[in-house]
Amino acid sequence: MRVMSKRHSVSLQFKISSIYILTNLLVMIVNIVLLIGINNMSGRLDMVYQDNLHLNELSDALGVVQDNMTDYLNAKTTDSLEDYYRSEQDYRTMMADLNEQITGVPFDRMERNIRNMSEYYLEEVGQTIEAKRGRNVEKYRIHYEKATQMYEYTAAYITNLNLEKFRSNSERYSDLLKRFKLFESTSLVAIILVMASNACIIIRFVGTIISPLKKLAGSANEVAKGNFDIELLPVESEDEVGVVTGAFNSMVVSISRYIERIRESMEAERALKERELLMEAHLKDARLKYLQAQINPHFLFNTLNAGAQLAMMEGADRTYEYVQKVAQFYRYNMKKSEETVTIADEIEMVDYYIYILNVRFAGDIHYEKHIDQSLLAVEMPGMILQPIVENCVNHGIHEMGSEGNICLSIYYKGEKVCISVKDNGVGMSEETIHKVMSGTYREDNMAAGSNGIGMDNVISRMKLFTGSEDVMVIRSEGQDKGTEVCLYL
Amino acid sequence: MKKDNPTGQRKWNSNPNTWIMLLTIVCVAATLVMAVYVLWFYRSSYHEETEQAVYDKYYMMITEDNKSSIWRSIYQGACEQALEENVYVDWLGDDLFQGYSVEEQMQIAIAAGVDGIIVTANENEGMTELVNRASEEEIPVITLYGDNTQSARCSFVGIGSYNLGHEYGRLALQIIREKLIGQTVTYASVEEDEEQGIETAQIEEVKIGSDKRPVRVAVMVNSYAQGLDQNILCSGIQETIEQERGEKLAIEMEILSVDDTNAFSVEESIRDIFMEKDIPDIIICLNELNTTCVYQAVVDYNKVGQVNILGYYDSDTIINAIDRGVIYATVAIDTEQMGKFCINALQEYHELGYTSQYFTADIRLIQKDNVGEYLEKGDLADESDE
């Protein structure tokens, strides 16, 4: 494993260089081996006839000794004597190389014989020269004849050895040639093998280097097509390819995360826009309904104002106040229904409404307010409270027949502002409450005095305004036990 | 990849990398093996020249010819014995000095400073001188086959010539008794009536062995080289025949001298004998070459049955000829024993300073009735040679 990890941690450059060096090394080793072999063989081919050359030299040297002796015997010159001594010395030097042991090799024994015969011959020659110097004619003749005879034998022996060696060397030469041919074919096979080995090594190593690149390319293509759901590539090595693979992996991860984030924010934006549009739609709807209900609010308002002035001029103060408040109520309805208002505005609106109703129905509605003064400035959508109160009056108190109580409380509940409208009317069944809350309850006949804004509209606008689902709770303890509607801001 | 193969079967076919890896290993291994082989290849040729044994002594054998298998056989015997004694024997005339005479070869051997000489000597003075010179140079000389009694040779290894002669004589008489007695030849004689001037030819049948047509026994001797002691041998033959022939038989002994002064002359002069009118009934040959030549001549001149040959030595040709009945008998010498005797004599001389003066080799008679065992031997020898 350690080796593996070590191998995996080396760089691409190192890997490629290694392959190059390895294959070259292989080629070099085989080449060196072959070169040594060829060199060795050619050297030996050169050496084959070396023996014959030596023997030729030996033979020549022997001839020179004989010639010099003859010269001296002929002319007895100092030069020829000197030549003789020199040639004798030369010949002795050459003789020293000859074998002197008795072995099983015929050539060795022949060399030994030649050596001994040469000694014998040189002795005879020496005696001849000695006798010549002593002018002993008879003696030097005898020695000369013996020496000459010995020269002939020795020369013949050398020639024989030379011939024998030549024959054996020729055989060896052809044997060597055969071996050389064999070596050639062996070399060829070796070179082919090396080539095959190198090819295999290169294919193998390049394969290992290229395969992660191929995978990377495949993955990149997938990504280019837009498919980010690809399996992350395994980082097999820590070389440059490994680094690129790692970078690619993290890039794919980052891109997909980024895309996810963009998608989320777009989703949020879309929801926001949708809510705005919805709110607008509801408002428009409320206003439409209002306009349907109020044929001409301005005209009505001006008419009421004219009526109020007439009452004042006639000294009917209560009529004046009533007409005035009705006019205020409609003005508010006309003005505030489209915008965000404060709780105080809404309370005032409810006040007007209750007053009008009490005038209408001769004051049979008792109206209480428990208001946290600090909450008066809190904003809320307009035209919310009045419809609720209207519902209380129309469905709770009217149907009861007796004296109705409406209690409006505004207070903190937890972090939220709670606006509670409570009546002592007929109450609501659970089913009705559920229908109202889910917006499926429909009033078939709009009660008189209603401004036409339904509870579903109220709930929707509250939801849009707060951005929360829990905007309204309707509680009723049962038949004739009243109803409490709580709004949470 | 592993996920795709939950069974865990390693898929060789689907993984080319494994194959390439294997191939790589195989190729690299093969390359290395090749390199080792190449190294070994020329290493081996380095060491083909093995160390040769070194011998204590070196003897030289010199014979008058190197063609006859008798010498080869003697040399072989000598060699075997020599190798046991850690001595090497060379046969000087074997290949190198074919053209040289025995005397010349002796000179070479002396000059070569060998430790002992085995030579087929003769009684010539020159030979005596050379043997003596060798002795002076402290080279012991063994005379082989032919002796030089006058010289300082240390021992003689050969055959008892007289005994051999006796054996030949006995064989000749055996032939006469078995084959020739009772045979008749037509004998034409021309008588001339001087008065009438008429010549009348008389043709008569004459018995071989009668006075008119004695049995002719010829001993073939070499005129120049005298391997065996021919005189003693001839007298041995003669004496045996004289003593054992009986009164009635007329036997004529003659000596046929064969010219062996130069190469090929032996064969020619033997052919000359067959060209003559009177061809001997029995020819006794005293060496291998003569035996072979006579045998061939008898076959060529269609004289089988008329001429009986007593041969010498047991070469394959001669043995086969006996088997076919062309040669009546031959005398075989235990040549290997002779070779051994030579080496033993030299070794003994080197060790003790003296040795026995004579060594006599055993002789055996080979005839039709016992030729079978020699034939088998020959065949076996041939097979073992192969």
**Alpha-carbon distance values, A5 to A237, A238, A406 (Å):** 8, 9, 84
Best residue in A102, A117, A124, A162 to probe B by mutation, most B CBs within 10 Å? Answer: A102
> What value does the CA radius of gyration of chain A take, rounded to a whole number of Å?
67
Structure confidence by residue, pLDDT tens digits, B167-197: 899 999 888 888 887 777 777 666 676 676 7
- pLDDT class for B80, splitting at 50, 70, 90? very high
Strands B358-360 and B363-367: unpaired
CA distance linking residue B320 with residue B374, whole number of Å: 9
pLDDT at position B122 is 83
Are residues B108 and A197, on separate chains, in Cβ contact within 8 Å? no
CA distance linking residue B59 with residue A102, whole number of Å: 10
Give B343→chain A minimum CA distance, Å: 16
- Candidates A100, A136, A104, A105; CA nearest to A118 is A100
> Which residues on chain B are in Cβ contact (under 8 Å) with A183?
38, 41-42
Are residues B112 and A113, on separate chains, in Cβ contact within 8 Å? yes
pLDDT at position A445 is 47
Are residues B27 and A190, on separate chains, in Cβ contact within 8 Å? no
Are residues B107 and A153, on separate chains, in Cβ contact within 8 Å? yes
Q: Where, residue-wise, is CATH 3.40.50.2300 in chain B?
A: 57-158+338-345+353-359, 161-181+208-312
Asked if residue B8 has pLDDT above 60, the reply is no
- Candidates B203, B198, B202, B167; CA nearest to B184 is B203
**Tokens of residue A226, six digits:** 């837009």
| Lowest-confidence pick of B19-23, B224-228, B324-328 | B224-228
pLDDT at position B43 is 65
pLDDT at position A468 is 83
**Tokens of residue B25, six digits:** 């290993």
User: 């005994």: which residue's tokens?
Assistant: B163
Structure confidence by residue, pLDDT tens digits, B282-329: 999 988 888 999 999 999 999 888 899 999 888 889 999 999 989 999
The minimal CB distance from B39 to the residues A33, A157, A194 is found for A33
CATH architecture, domain A9-215: Up-down Bundle (1.20)
CA distance linking residue B60 with residue B39, whole number of Å: 43
Best residue in B31, B66, B90, B133 to probe A by mutation, most A CBs within 10 Å? Answer: B31
The minimal CB distance from A26 to the residues B17, B31, B54 is found for B31
What are residue B222's DSSP bridge partners? B258
Element (H, E) at B284: strand B282-285
Asked whether A219 and A59 are in contact (CB, 8 A), the reply is no
Angle at the Cα of A447 from the Cα atoms of A443 and A448, rounded to 5 degrees? 160
pLDDT at position B18 is 74
Name every residue whose Cβ is closer than 8 Å to that of residue A383 and which is 6 or more positions away in sequence. Answer: A286, A333, A336, A337, A349, A451, A453, A458
CA distance linking residue A414 with residue B133, whole number of Å: 153
- Candidates A200, A98, A104; CA nearest to A158 is A98
Are residues A190 and B35, on separate chains, in Cβ contact within 8 Å? yes
CATH architecture, domain B161-181+208-312: 3-Layer(aba) Sandwich (3.40)
Asked if residue B10 has pLDDT above 60, the reply is no
Asked whether B64 and B227 are in contact (CB, 8 A), the reply is yes
Strands B57-62 and B116-119: parallel
pLDDT at position A58 is 93
> Which residues on chain A are in Cβ contact (under 8 Å) with B114?
113
- pLDDT class for B46, splitting at 50, 70, 90? low
Asked whether A102 and A112 are in contact (CB, 8 A), the reply is yes
Domain B57-158+338-345+353-359 of CATH type 3.90.1150.220: no
Task: Pick the most confident of A84-88, B33-37, B242-246.
Answer: A84-88
Give B341→chain A minimum CA distance, Å: 22
pLDDT at position B60 is 92
- pLDDT class for B48, splitting at 50, 70, 90? low
Mean pLDDT across chain B = 82
Tell me the HSE value of B95 on the side-chain side, using a 13 A CA sphere: 9
Give A488→chain B minimum CA distance, Å: 57
Give A74→chain B minimum CA distance, Å: 26
Are residues A29 and B35, on separate chains, in Cβ contact within 8 Å? yes
What are residue B188's DSSP bridge partners? B203
Residues, chain B, total?
A: 386
CB atoms within 10 A of CB A260: 11
pLDDT at position B230 is 78
Domain A340-488 falls in which CATH fold? Heat Shock Protein 90 (3.30.565)
CA dihedral angle for residue A392, residue A393, residue A398, residue A403, rounded to 10 degrees: 100
| Lowest-confidence pick of B114-118, B330-334, B381-385 | B381-385
The minimal CB distance from B111 to the residues A150, A160, A176 is found for A150
Structure confidence by residue, pLDDT tens digits, B81-104: 999 999 999 888 766 666 788 888
CA distance linking residue B5 with residue B11, whole number of Å: 9
What does the pLDDT average to over B113-141? Answer: 91
pLDDT at position A291 is 63
pLDDT at position B380 is 47
Chain B residues with a Cβ under 8 Å from any Cβ in chain A = 16-17, 20-21, 23-24, 27-28, 30-31, 34-35, 37-39, 41-42, 45, 52-58, 88, 90, 95-97, 104, 107-108, 110-114
> Which residues on chain A are in Cβ contact (under 8 Å) with B130?
none
DSSP character for B192? E
- pLDDT class for B17, splitting at 50, 70, 90? low
Give B154→chain A minimum CA distance, Å: 23
Are residues B34 and A190, on separate chains, in Cβ contact within 8 Å? yes
Give the chain A residue whose CA is nearest to the CA of B96: A160
What does the pLDDT average to over B107-134? Answer: 91
Are residues A116 and B35, on separate chains, in Cβ contact within 8 Å? no
In this structure, which amino acid lies at residue B281?
D
pLDDT tens for each residue of chain A, 489 residues long: 444 444 556 777 888 888 888 888 888 888 888 888 788 888 888 888 888 999 999 999 999 999 999 999 888 888 889 999 999 999 999 999 888 888 888 888 889 999 999 999 999 999 999 998 888 889 989 999 999 999 999 998 899 889 988 988 888 888 888 888 888 888 888 888 888 888 888 887 788 778 888 888 888 888 888 887 788 888 777 778 888 888 888 988 898 899 999 999 999 999 999 988 988 888 888 777 766 665 566 777 788 888 888 888 888 888 888 888 888 887 777 666 567 888 888 898 888 888 888 888 777 788 888 998 888 888 888 888 888 888 888 887 877 767 788 899 999 888 889 999 988 888 888 888 888 887 777 655 444 445 556 788 888 888 888 888 888 888 888 777 888 889 888
Q: Give the residue with greater pLDDT, A401 vs B45.
A: A401
Element (H, E) at B190: strand B184-193
Are residues A186 and B107, on separate chains, in Cβ contact within 8 Å? no
Give the chain A residue whose CA is nearest to the CA of B43: A37
- pLDDT class for B132, splitting at 50, 70, 90? very high
**Tokens of residue A280, six digits:** 């607008």
Give B355→chain A minimum CA distance, Å: 24
The minimal CB distance from B34 to the residues A101, A160, A189 is found for A189
Burial zone of B270 (CB within 10 Å; 0-12 exposed, 13-18 middle, 19+ buried): buried
pLDDT at position A1 is 40
- State the ipTM, two decimals: 0.71
What are residue B255's DSSP bridge partners? B219
**Tokens of residue B275, six digits:** 């060209």
**Residue B28 phi, psi (nearest 5):** -65, -40
Structure confidence by residue, pLDDT tens digits, B205-220: 778 777 778 888 999 8
Give the chain A residue whose CA is nearest to the CA of B20: A204
pLDDT at position B315 is 87
